[in-house]
Amino acid sequence: MAGINNQFPCSFNQASFLRARDPSILSWNRHAIEKVRCNLATEFSSVRSGDSESQKKKDETLNVYLRIKGRVPFGDLYTIEDNVLSCIVPASSQAAKLNRQNRIIIKKFSFSKIFGPHTTQDELFDVTVREKVLDFINGANGSLLTYGVSGAGKTYTMIGTPGDPGIIPRALNYIFRTVCINPNSRPCCKPMPNGKIEILSRSKQEVELQVRQGIFKDQSTSAELLKHERTFLSMQNTLKVTPVGVVDFFPPIFEVWVSFVEIYNENIFDLLEVNSNRGQQRTKLQIGTSHRNTYIKGVKHIFVTTGLEAYQILQFGLHNISYASTNLNMHSSRAHCIFSIKLVSGNNCEEYNVSNFNFCDLAGSERMKKTLNEGDRAKESSKINTSLSVLGRCIRSVREMQKNNSDICSAPFRDSKLTQLLQQALQGKENICMIVNMSPSPETFDENQQALIFSTIAQEVVVKEPKANPSQLQGAFRTFRQSLTNGLCENDFSGDELKEARNDIARLTLEMSEMKQNFEIILDQETSHLRKNYNIILNIKTEQLAEAQQEIERLKKSNNYLEKTRSELHWKLNKLEEQQETIVLSDSEQEDEENSSFSTRKEDKVGDIEEQHLLQVKLLEDKIKRLEAIIREKESEADDRRLHDEENRKRLDELNCTNSELRDEIRKLELTLHDAVRDYYELEEQEKSLRIAFNDLTARNCVLEDKNILLMQELDEYRNRCLLQQQELDDLKNSNTEDIIN
């Protein structure tokens, strides 16, 4: 476990989930597992004696598979028997020309497995890569190389066709079906060259997302993007039936990053460079070393959350590959291409693991004479052949080093960029396997022989047990999966049941994770919808309430004003009455005749004024009453609204309650499934021990058989040499006789 001290800046919403849907399915599995456990316990006690010895044998030799190209007439030059390919050397071949005896030469090559011309892409992926990809998901590094003559089907094996996808698209689909990553998650932990991670700040996350977006935008036309999308979706449809991997431990951090480079004329170019030009114009990348890791300086790693995104990035890189036609293969790839997937997994920023898987599609080995290469093409061919021969030399010296139990490795890794980058894998320190592609056509017989000899050497390299993961659970899980790889299918005891149980668990896990995802999406949508509606209503109501309160304030103000006016008018009225009384008193002393007409006029005037004032007061009183009624009405409306809001709030609380109950339910179901899976693994642990003992015996038997074949071959070669010497002796005698006669 590497460690860094940064604070983790974000929540990891890309955690994956396991959830049981139907408890009855689960209990069936439990029953099946229990049955298998009993069978195994019986078998286990009978082979316990040989167990400790087989436990020690953890390392295995490099898996080298042979794939024979389909749709090419399979002449009588080659025959396949089990995992051994026999080649009858034709008269036109270089080897036959050297042989003066006119004897039929048969050469035999053994492989981990031979895939005949009718092998499907699915079968090939299943046997060669699936387990390695699962190891990778669990934290082990891995590499897969395709090797062979130009046109033998290396790219077909690695990439495939839209209708029949190859190993990389299948691996991407497999990875993203096995681990469920939230498609909307943001990049948080970027893998660094020294094997550590960089915790990305919000602004750096934005930059990473823009880089990815830049690639999608640059994908020439949107039609092209759509085409890739259709291809991947139809592939997903085809692969829907295949089981997904069962991963025991899903840490909260799970991020996938991809990169894609080509080594062309011994220069490294980034295939994910947007607007990259062909040839010399592109930026050449350099190799750096950090903590014994070789890495490419400045190579782009793109953050992906779905298989489709990763596939589109692969297609973008393929578009940038240097293609040029040769006489052997009109679409020959002239560079070694390395598509890498990096997986960052961990519990937090201090407990994490970065695993890497390299898919290397090597450029085709070819004879320049045969391909009639000239100029640039010839230069390309010579660089390709040089780097492949360095690869051969490296593998040869690693094998020698391992044979001599030496720690000093003199392999010329630095002689080519390819071997420099694959150094760790080629030394057997990583999970590595190789697929040798071969076309059975007689024209490429000699080139095929070279590839076959190379594969024989490579096969003897010992691959160490993949580096253990920090988590004990993961380690245990890998061991369990190895036991499955070690031949669970041909297991005499309870293999079928185990296989069935494994498929059920895989299917169940997939179904559950799909259901979980759907359910989470619906739940989130529902909650956000409700929250949105509630907020809208709340805003409207708040606005209405504020308006009503403003209206009330305004009415209150106008009421106050009217009250003030009324009291002023009353005051004025009183004043007038007083004045009137004063006038009446002063006038009473005057003579009645003189003043009668004047007082009458005054009274009339005062009466008019009084009447007007009374009218005004009445009007104002009416207005005040009306305003008071409006205020009462508005206040009761506001009360109603408050009540309504209260009800809405209660409803939302209830919904939140239901949501959290449902989430609790999901959590419980997840725990139940985890228990079932753990039981299953324990059982598989026991089964593994049995299988190792069984395989050890089979392996010893194979070794003896191999030795026998080798001895036979040596005997043949010895006989050939004797015959040659005999021939030379005869020639010498003849020439001597001729000399004597002369």
Ligand X SMILES: Nc1ncnc2c1ncn2[C@@H]1O[C@H](COP(=O)(O)OP(=O)(O)OP(=O)(O)O)[C@@H](O)[C@H]1O
Binding-site positions read 148-155
Instruction: Give min distance, CB of 730 to ligand X, in A.
Output: 45
* Chosen residue from 87, 152, 200, 395 binding ligand X by CB under 6 A: 152
Under 8 Å between Cβ of 62 and 461:
yes
Measure the CA–CA gap between 287 and 293, rounded to whole angstroms.
10
Closer residue to ligand X, CB minimum distance, 269 or 680: 269
Instruction: Give min distance, CB of 439 to ligand X, in A.
Output: 8
Instruction: Give min distance, CB of 116 to ligand X, in A.
Output: 10
Measure the CA–CA gap between 150 and 364, rounded to whole angstroms.
4
Under 8 Å between Cβ of 174 and 388:
no
Query: Three-state DSSP class for 409?
Result: coil
* Chosen residue from 154, 342, 481, 688 binding ligand X by CB under 6 A: 154
* Chosen residue from 150, 353, 419, 482 binding ligand X by CB under 6 A: 150
**Binding flag, residue 420, ligand X (CB under 6 A):** no
Instruction: Give min distance, CB of 338 to ligand X, in A.
Output: 14
Instruction: Give min distance, CB of 309 to ligand X, in A.
Output: 25
Instruction: Please provide residue 263's backbone torsions phi and psi, each rounded to the nearest 5 degrees.
Output: -110, 105
Instruction: Give min distance, CB of 89 to ligand X, in A.
Output: 23
Closer residue to ligand X, CB minimum distance, 332 or 356: 332
Token pair of 277 as six digits? 């030009």
Torsion of CA 153, 154, 158, 160, to 10 degrees: -20
Residues 355-394 that bind ligand X (CB under 6 A): 363-364
Measure the CA–CA gap between 378 and 265, rounded to whole angstroms.
11
Per-residue contact track with ligand X, 579 to 598, x per CB under 6 A? --------------------
Residues 321-360 that bind ligand X (CB under 6 A): 329, 331-333
Closer residue to ligand X, CB minimum distance, 154 or 186: 154
Number of residues that bind ligand X (CB under 6 A): 18
Q: Classify residue 323 by its DSSP letter.
A: B
Closer residue to ligand X, CB minimum distance, 179 or 452: 452
In terms of DSSP H, where are the helices of 321-405? 368-371, 375-403
Closer residue to ligand X, CB minimum distance, 424 or 455: 455
Closer residue to ligand X, CB minimum distance, 74 or 493: 74
Write the DSSP string, 593-620. HHHHHHHHHHHHHHHHHHHHHHHHHHHH
* Chosen residue from 12, 136, 139, 151 binding ligand X by CB under 6 A: 151
- Tell me the three-class secondary structure of 254-272, residue by residue: EEEEEEEEEEECCEEEECC
Range in contact with ligand X (rule: CB under 6 A) among 55-63, 145-153, 268-276, 702-710: 145-153
Measure the CA–CA gap between 355 and 254, rounded to whole angstroms.
11
Query: Three-state DSSP class for 646?
Result: helix
Burial class (CB in 10 A: 0-12, 13-18, 19+), 388: buried
Instruction: Give min distance, CB of 302 to ligand X, in A.
Output: 24
Q: If we measure between CA atoms, which residue out of 394, 386, 388 comes closest to residue 410? A: 394
Range in contact with ligand X (rule: CB under 6 A) among 19-27, 83-91, 146-154, 722-730: 146-154
Token pair of 589 as six digits? 């002393």
Query: Three-state DSSP class for 333?
Result: strand
Query: What residue type is 27 in one-letter code?
Result: S
**Binding flag, residue 156, ligand X (CB under 6 A):** yes
**Binding flag, residue 474, ligand X (CB under 6 A):** no
Under 8 Å between Cβ of 110 and 452:
no
Closer residue to ligand X, CB minimum distance, 327 or 485: 327
* Chosen residue from 54, 155, 423, 448 binding ligand X by CB under 6 A: 155
Range in contact with ligand X (rule: CB under 6 A) among 152-160, 369-377, 446-454, 635-643: 152-160
Under 8 Å between Cβ of 486 and 691:
yes
Measure the CA–CA gap between 610 and 91, rounded to whole angstroms.
142
Instruction: Give min distance, CB of 114 to ligand X, in A.
Output: 13
Closer residue to ligand X, CB minimum distance, 454 or 480: 454
In terms of DSSP H, where are the helices of 84-221? 94-98, 121-128, 130-137, 154-158, 167-178, 202-218
Closer residue to ligand X, CB minimum distance, 333 or 419: 333
Instruction: Give min distance, CB of 421 to ligand X, in A.
Output: 19
Closer residue to ligand X, CB minimum distance, 448 or 459: 448
The vertex-431 CA angle with 65 and 478, nearest 5°, equals: 110
Burial class (CB in 10 A: 0-12, 13-18, 19+), 406: exposed
Instruction: Give min distance, CB of 239 to ligand X, in A.
Output: 18
Instruction: Give min distance, CB of 156 to ligand X, in A.
Output: 3
Closer residue to ligand X, CB minimum distance, 148 or 187: 148
Query: What residue type is 114 in one-letter code?
Result: I
Query: What residue type is 355 in one-letter code?
Result: S
Residues contributing to the annotated binding site for ATP: 148-155
Per-residue contact track with ligand X, 60 to 79, x per CB under 6 A? ---------xxx--------
Residues lying near ligand X in the complex (CB under 6 A) are found at: 69-71, 148, 150-156, 329, 331-333, 363-364, 437
